[in-house]
Amino acid sequence: MAAAAVGDDQFGEDPTTNELQERVAALLRKEAALWLPTGTMANQVALRTLTRPGDDVVVAAGAHIVWSEAGAGAANAGVQFTELGGSRGYFDREQFLAARKPRSHELLPPTTLVAFENTHNRAGGVAVPMAVTEEVCAAAAEEEVTTLLDGARLWNAAVALGVDPGSLASPFDVVWVAFSKGLGAPGGSMMAGPADVISRARRQRRMLGGAMRQVGVFAAAAAHGLDHHMEDLATDHANARAIASILAQSDAVAIDPDSVQTNIVFFRLAPGAPDPDTVVERAGEGGVAVFAVGDGIRAVTHRDVTAEECREAASILAAAAEA
């Protein structure tokens, strides 16, 4: 980072950022890419670029763009959301077609965008099957509905499914990825898509305060993550499964270890166990940082924790869940 060549990215003059944008665009099989400070801003820039106020956006139930962005979709883009698929983290072609609202109807808000989140956070890090996204994206194209992929954890999905990230991204019109999660960079995300869309997105980034100057220091860290940290994601996934296996041995915890596909462990508490907030507090006192999500608790593994530390954390969590 300290050695990165930098410039003013507001005017496209940061060479390290420009190089990363070209690299990620090629990696995701898109024409162009744009640096953004955060994933939430990437979602909001996408909404403002790809929709108009009053439009309907189809997403999977529990999507980050609906539940974890402080109502920004309504405030920034003026859109409404239709959630599908229940707790599994995705929906299929038939569900999408049944939910889609036509553009020509005088009463209904037109469906102009369909978005997937891969992996799906609230569903417990579920990697959405390629066949599902390919079929929905094909149906969307037939209906002239734009497709968006929230790929904050696309790297994890690619490892879990045994495919390259470009294969997961290619069915979508626009995709964005994050560098600050599994790859361990200190910040930054990147949106990729058609050159004209990325050009429009650049203006929306400016309007939302995301245009920065010498971001090459962040881009250099992201490039390092792509070069050196991708292969470590499988270890994160194995550590998450180990945590789930230990938790499953507790009568106070409800979890299926086989449901853990990536680096997110989501579990619920059995009848008679303390409430999630109490378990989170107890775990924190034991040195384990997790947080409550609805009626469950989420834990995430990452490159800075060892297998031994994960097993110890799981034991502490199980003890915190005991009545």
Can you tell me whether residue 164 is helix, strand or coil? Answer: coil
Q: Which domains, and CATH codes, for the chain?
A: 9-228 (3.40.640.10), 232-320 (3.90.1150.10)
* pLDDT at residue 87, as a whole number: 87
Distance CA 118, CA 202 (A): 24
Sequence letter at residue 145: V
**pTM for this predicted structure:** 0.96
Looking at per-residue pLDDT, the higher value among 98 and 88 belongs to 98
**pLDDT, tens only, 263-296:** 999 999 999 999 999 999 999 999 999 999 988 9
Distance CA 116, CA 111 (A): 14
**pLDDT, tens only, 138-179:** 999 999 999 999 999 999 999 999 999 999 999 999 999 999
**Mean pLDDT for the stretch of residues 186-200:** 98
Sequence letter at residue 225: G
* pLDDT at residue 3, as a whole number: 96
Whether residue 262 is predicted with pLDDT greater than 90 in this model: the reply is yes
DSSP state of 126: B
* pLDDT at residue 253, as a whole number: 96
Q: What percent of the chain has pLDDT over 90?
A: 98
* pLDDT at residue 39, as a whole number: 98
- Residue 199 tokens, joined: 């050009």
**pLDDT, tens only, 4-53:** 999 999 999 999 999 999 999 999 999 999 999 999 999 999 999 999 99
**pLDDT, tens only, 89-145:** 999 999 999 999 999 999 999 999 999 999 999 999 999 999 999 999 999 999 999
Q: What is the largest CA-CA distance in the chain?
A: 60
Q: Where are the alpha helices (DSSP H) in 3-129?
A: 15-27, 39-50, 64-67, 72, 93-99
**Across the chain, where does the E strand assignment appear?**
32-36, 56-60, 80-84, 111-117, 146-151, 174-178, 189-193, 253-254, 264-269, 291-293, 296-300
- Average pLDDT of every residue of the chain: 97
